[in-house]
Structure 1
Amino acid sequence: MAKRFNTTGVCIPKKHYMVDISRKIDEIEKLVDEEFYFVINRPRQFGKTTTLNELYKRLNSKYSVIRMDFELMGEDFSSEERFCRTFINSISRFINKDIKKADTLTELSYIIMNLTKDNEVVLLIDEVDRNSNNRLFLSFLGMLRSLYLSREQELATTFKSVILAGVYDIKNLKLKVRDDSDTRYNSPWNIAVNFNVDMSFSKVDISTMLNQYANENNLSLDIDVLSKEIYKFTSGYPFLVSRICQIVDEDLLSEDKREWTVLDIQKAVKLLLDDKNTLFDDLIKNLENSSELYECLYNILVNGLPITYNINNPIVDLGHMFGYLVKNKNNNIVVSNQILKEVIYSYMISKTDTMTMAKYNFKDNFIKEDNTLNMKKVLLRFQQFMKENYSSKDIEFLERQGVLLFLSFIKPIINGVGFDYKEVQISEERRMDIVIQYNKCKYVIETKIWHGEKAHRNGLNQLKSYLDIEGLDKGYLLIFNFNENKQYVYNEYCVVDKNIFEVVV
């Protein structure tokens, strides 16, 4: 059976092209060897189950390993007796030994002590947060915690290591404990050490999977260039890395197994952004359910506001836990990768009024005979749209919605052929660089708010520098001027060797 790229469920080395995660498994194995309890809490589709599967195979050669999936045990949390019996059945299956029944967590704890008296046993539990709001689950964690503390005091034996995997950080759960004098809250899992293994894929990691693919298909790929391009869009998010490769192999090149190009990766990214998958569905659902998270992302992506990374901020913590937010070198929060950023932009654009725009942004009006974009015409048409429809809007609305209106305006023009990606520059001028790829041509548009002539000159020089990076000799500047006496004008500048066309709205 030929291997393929996998984006659903666990990855199996003999069936799927896989990143070499052996070094990550080495790091986790050290934590187990040192008898630590820990939680692998990472976002959805971040390779947790695949990592647990490879870890299980590694540990099983030297320890007795019990592996469970709490997603399969939803009904078993309905009663303590049922949970304990199911847990005992799982133990029996993995150690191939009959064990007497337990009806309570206390009885279960005695069985665990007997089981681990002369054996080193490791417990792995996947999807552990599926029942995290269940009191029985919290009591179960409390039982494991008590056994761990007794072991450290040499009063009992218990599992050598316990590894819990899920999206949420189980360490933050609280267990309500009553006694005769008061009611207090204790964390049932404060015994866990921090899990700092980087489970994202580096450019080198990605290259190991591409090497596998190239060798098995007798292809000569420019592994380094392709790995960098995939990483540029994904920042190593495991699902996104595999999905891009899967689209190239199974959709773009299914009939012609030739060498991959950077353009193939870019086409795959465009198809991925139109994909219907659980990662994007969860992202939209979470934005719908949390207005505070939406507002946080809006301020970062549209308003260009700097927000300090503080994990004690519940919204920052939530965005980080879901895999949407990370810390940059300036200690500000940013969206974790370019693809999620584009999905969020598309969702925000969908909330703007596109009906009025339809009279202004008909695609055929902006395509030249050589199938390239007439970007000057696009910007001038947007200027007309803003003048005729938004000149009377209040400044606060325009400051908030202006850039999003332009992104919404340009989307149907490039749809089907091109794609764009954005880079927000956190600064006083609140700049955004928009790079549009259309039929092998690249266009760079910088949007910014008017802050006077000095800032304007700086903006021209900044755009010139960005054009140098992109290897282009022509760029575009879209300025939002909120002064009452502004003029809807356009200008052309020559900055050293760069031509810049500017539109003011």
Structure 2
Amino acid sequence: MKQIPGNPYIVGNPIKTREMFFGREDDFYFVTRKIGVDKANQVIIFCGERRSGKTSILFQILSGKLGEHFLPILVDMQILAGLKSDMEFFRAILEAGCDQLKIPGLSFAEVEKRARDFTVQRILETFLSMLDSSKPGKVVLFLLDEYELLEAKIKEGSLSESVIHYLAGVLESKYRISFIFTGSTNLENRKVDFWKILLGKSIYRKISYLSQHDTERLITEPLLDYIDYPDDVIESIYRFTGGQPFYTQVICQNLVDLLIEEQRNDPGKQDLEKVVKDIIENPLPQMIYSWNSLGDWIKFALSSLAGKLESVKEWTDSSGVFQYLVKNKIALPFKRERLNVFLEEAYEKEFLQKTDAGGYSFRMDLYRRWIRKEHSVWKVIKEVNLEVKKARRAALSLVISIASILVVAAGLVFIIDPFNIRTTMGLVSDDGKLKDIRVVSNQPGIRVTMDGAITLTSEGQQDESSLKLPALAPGKHVFVFINTRTGEKLEQEVDIQPGVAEIPIHFTKEAGPATVQPIGMASLFLSTTPEGARILIDGVPYDATPKIISSIKIGAHRVVLERDGYKSASFSIDVNPGINERKTQLAAIYGSLILDVRPTAKIYLDGAYLVDTPYAQALKVQAGKHVILMVNESLGFKEEVRVVIRESEVTKIERILK
């Protein structure tokens, strides 16, 4: 065999090339069958757990996997970070389309020129019309990765719900256009109403593990001419990963590194065992994250199952898990049938596989071995502060009853009601909020803003790569993370639930060598609510907030913060040696809008429904530029008007419809 030339396996990033992408042919066929030529416009939602390969599928579609009948446009959802309006969002995705399609004569400047009326609806229609003229019969296919980010921007107010209405509207147009979203769940499971308008046009596709055949191809084909894999090694890798593409890449990458280091090309089971043991002893951040994201009772069920299953070939049902707990004298505070619920939840999250008879085993044996070693049932009990009592089997019910009485008498913590788990884990404050959650970063220097209100920093701590958060209410929270060393900004929506102990973040921009602040200079961090205010310091402009000015003279400075629709804030600040910070709450300014449209019309403000006329009172509207849409379908009336609302002034629109 030849000497191995290098390691082709990719861990942590989407697969963009065809050489390292294997399988998923049924998923590509599903797309062409549902939204191909002569099919209706649709939204396809690829649902799956983290690291299941959803983004890699989008990159394969972008590279032409579906064939010449499709015009794919990949929307990098990172564009959402700095957007402040619906128009900016659609401008960004159409600019991406012009850049990626590279069709002669197609540019956003030309779209703007032909659109005449610069509205979202008009520029979308113009863009699609130009594509239809140059590429007749083709299906325009927008690819949006992690659609939940779009939901987060709407919730925080950077975008309006009209974005979803525009997407739904364009699906009803005469042009061939469809969308592929990726996310962790389907639209029906989202807890906001604005997705409902897309439900009738949405179809779902579960993205799960690779087949055994495609997993074996991923193992053997990248270095087919250099490594001769024995059948038992291939089979063992598949058993360890179950076909999960990310972990298959991890094991193969580590195995190839070992062979290159030892200048061999003959992997054996002992080599594979060495790689697996190293992963178990040094678990990947993704393993830790997935474990921490589980509820406490699911952790308990998985650790009990891992303790019961001593080998990869074993299966057991909830009765077998219960017997394992009895054998270890662990008294359950509920009937054993409840174990089925927790095991089923773990199955739904793809940790387990099951038989028709109700038998369970781990889908990835790597997880079974890791949980068995690092998260034994007694360790999990300790991790979640669950005080269970050792009990003799014959006296199990009696011990539970006595223990319940002792809880009341002695004030001890003992879990009686599994449905009240959040108030018994020792991680919940009296008001029901979750505490002891930490942000853990791969780089020191973290600044965190939670839900646009609370800002914390790790600067000055002994460990600047970790930051403890205040108690948080269960549910979804929007976090903005800033690396104070590099200025890199990440935005993430996190579902805070019992059992979440860490929020891992990964900054990609590396900090340069540490430097000593020049004499007489300091750092200044300016932030505003809302973000995006223009900064002037002593008359010198800087980028919009939040902004870290890493080198500013010590002493007094004059700061002015400006944002459309808000009163300018100006203040003096004394910059001291070290790190200085100033947070500013901007005050919105308003004008008045009077609408006299008769006999009646529906009024939309910037794409969002406002009111039906006639409406006698003046409406309070935030100052700035706005688009007013007036619609009376029965009279065939539709008119769009651009207005500028000025502070404390009245703007009036009058129409008599005939």
TM-score, normalising length from structure 2?
0.45
Amino acid at match of 2:190: L
Partner of 2:77: 70
- 1:173–1:201 distance in 2 versus 1, CA, 3 Å: same
Question: Shift of residue 112 of structure 1?
Answer: 5.7
Conserved? CA contact 2:80–2:153, under 8 Å: no
Question: Shift of residue 31 of structure 1?
Answer: 3.3
Of the two structures, which has the highest relative contact order with CA contacts closer than 8 Å and spacing of 6 or more? Answer: 1
Partner of 1:330: 357
Question: Shift of residue 280 of structure 1?
Answer: 0.9
Partner of 2:508: none
The structure with more strand, counted as a fraction of residues: 2
Partner of 2:168: 145
Counting only pairs closer than 5 Å after superposition, residues 217-296 of structure 1 correspond to structure 2 as: 217=226, 219-222=227-230, 224-251=231-258, 253-287=260-294, 290-296=295-301
Return the alpha-carbon distance in structure 1 between the equivalents of residues 392 and 151 of structure 2: 46
- Counterpart check, 1:205 vs 2:205: no
Conserved? CA contact 1:284–1:347, under 8 Å: no
Question: Shift of residue 120 of structure 1?
Answer: 2.4
Partner of 2:580: none
Question: Shift of residue 175 of structure 1?
Answer: 4.4
- 1:195–1:249 distance in 2 versus 1, CA, 3 Å: same
Counting only pairs closer than 5 Å after superposition, residues 56-205 of structure 1 correspond to structure 2 as: 56-57=62-63, 58-59=65-66, 61-76=68-83, 78-96=84-102, 97-99=106-108, 100-101=111-112, 105-107=120-122, 109-111=124-126, 114-115=129-130, 117=132, 118=136, 119-135=138-154, 136=159, 139-148=162-171, 150=172, 156-176=173-193, 186=196, 188-196=198-206, 199-205=208-214
Among candidates 49, 59, 66, match of residue 55 of structure 2: 49
Question: Shift of residue 343 of structure 1?
Answer: 3.4
Conserved? CA contact 1:85–1:103, under 8 Å: no
- Counterpart check, 1:6 vs 2:10: yes
Conserved? CA contact 2:215–2:245, under 8 Å: no
What's the Cα RMSD here?
4.0
- Name structure 2 gaps, 5 residues minimum: 308-317, 323-335, 383-388, 398-658
- Counterpart check, 1:340 vs 2:363: no
- Report the identity percentage: 15
- 1:263–1:280 distance in 2 versus 1, CA, 3 Å: same
- 1:340–1:103 distance in 2 versus 1, CA, 3 Å: farther
The structure with more helix, counted as a fraction of residues: 1
Return the alpha-carbon distance in structure 2 between the equivalents of residues 199 and 22 of structure 1: 13
Return the alpha-carbon distance in structure 1 between the equivalents of residues 352 and 47 of structure 2: 15
Amino acid at match of 1:348: H
Return the alpha-carbon distance in structure 2 between the equivalents of residues 141 and 308 of structure 1: 40
Residues matched between the structures, number: 341
- 1:275–1:352 distance in 2 versus 1, CA, 3 Å: closer
Conserved? CA contact 2:44–2:202, under 8 Å: yes
Among candidates 217, 220, 225, match of residue 216 of structure 1: 225
- 1:170–1:345 distance in 2 versus 1, CA, 3 Å: farther
Return the alpha-carbon distance in structure 2 between the equivalents of residues 103 and 350 of structure 1: 62
Conserved? CA contact 2:44–2:180, under 8 Å: yes
Q: Deviations over 1:311-347 (max 9, x none)?
A: xx8x789756654345543356654322223334445
Question: Shift of residue 163 of structure 1?
Answer: 0.8
Amino acid at match of 1:257: R
Conserved? CA contact 1:204–1:227, under 8 Å: no
Conserved? CA contact 2:7–2:253, under 8 Å: no
Amino acid at match of 2:145: D
TM-score, normalising length from structure 1?
0.57
Q: Deviations over 1:173-231 (max 9, x none)?
A: 25436xxxxxxx836344222315x64222221222333245331x4332x43322111
Counting only pairs closer than 5 Å after superposition, residues 356-395 of structure 1 correspond to structure 2 as: 393-395=390-392
Amino acid at match of 1:82: E
Q: Deviations over 1:350-391 (max 9, x none)?
A: 963999xxxxxxxxxxxxxxxxxxxxxxxxxxxxxxxxxxxx
Conserved? CA contact 2:139–2:176, under 8 Å: yes
Among candidates 366, 376, 381, match of residue 349 of structure 1: 376
- 1:346–1:283 distance in 2 versus 1, CA, 3 Å: farther
- 1:214–1:71 distance in 2 versus 1, CA, 3 Å: same
Conserved? CA contact 1:25–1:54, under 8 Å: no
Return the alpha-carbon distance in structure 1 between the equivalents of residues 359 and 338 of structure 2: 4
Return the alpha-carbon distance in structure 2 between the equivalents of residues 354 and 318 of structure 1: 19
- 1:318–1:349 distance in 2 versus 1, CA, 3 Å: closer
Return the alpha-carbon distance in structure 1 between the equivalents of residues 366 and 49 of structure 2: 15
Amino acid at match of 1:75: G
Q: Deviations over 1:87-126 (max 9, x none)?
A: 2222222233123358755445534653565442111112
Return the alpha-carbon distance in structure 1 between the equivalents of residues 348 and 203 of structure 2: 17
- 1:160–1:244 distance in 2 versus 1, CA, 3 Å: same
Counting only pairs closer than 5 Å after superposition, residues 294-313 of structure 1 correspond to structure 2 as: 294-298=299-303, 300-301=305-306, 304=321
Amino acid at match of 1:8: G
Return the alpha-carbon distance in structure 2 between the equivalents of residues 318 and 202 of structure 1: 23
Return the alpha-carbon distance in structure 2 between the equivalents of residues 316 and 189 of structure 1: 30
- 1:111–1:350 distance in 2 versus 1, CA, 3 Å: farther
Conserved? CA contact 2:212–2:238, under 8 Å: yes
Conserved? CA contact 1:309–1:332, under 8 Å: no
Conserved? CA contact 2:53–2:246, under 8 Å: yes
Question: Shift of residue 52 of structure 1?
Answer: 1.6
Return the alpha-carbon distance in structure 2 between the equivalents of residues 202 and 7 of structure 1: 19
Task: Report SS of the residue matched to 2:143.
Answer: strand
Question: Shift of residue 132 of structure 1?
Answer: 2.8
Task: Report SS of the residue matched to 1:221.
Answer: coil
Return the alpha-carbon distance in structure 2 between the equivalents of residues 317 and 73 of structure 1: 36
Task: Report SS of the residue matched to 2:379.
Answer: coil
Conserved? CA contact 1:127–1:165, under 8 Å: yes
Task: Report SS of the residue matched to 1:194.
Answer: strand
Amino acid at match of 2:148: D
Question: Shift of residue 9 of structure 1?
Answer: 0.7
Return the alpha-carbon distance in structure 1 between the equivalents of residues 129 and 356 of structure 2: 50
Task: Give the structure with higher Rg (CA).
Answer: 2
- 1:345–1:129 distance in 2 versus 1, CA, 3 Å: farther
Conserved? CA contact 1:173–1:187, under 8 Å: no
Conserved? CA contact 2:255–2:275, under 8 Å: yes
Q: Deviations over 1:231-252 (max 9, x none)?
A: 1121111111111111111035
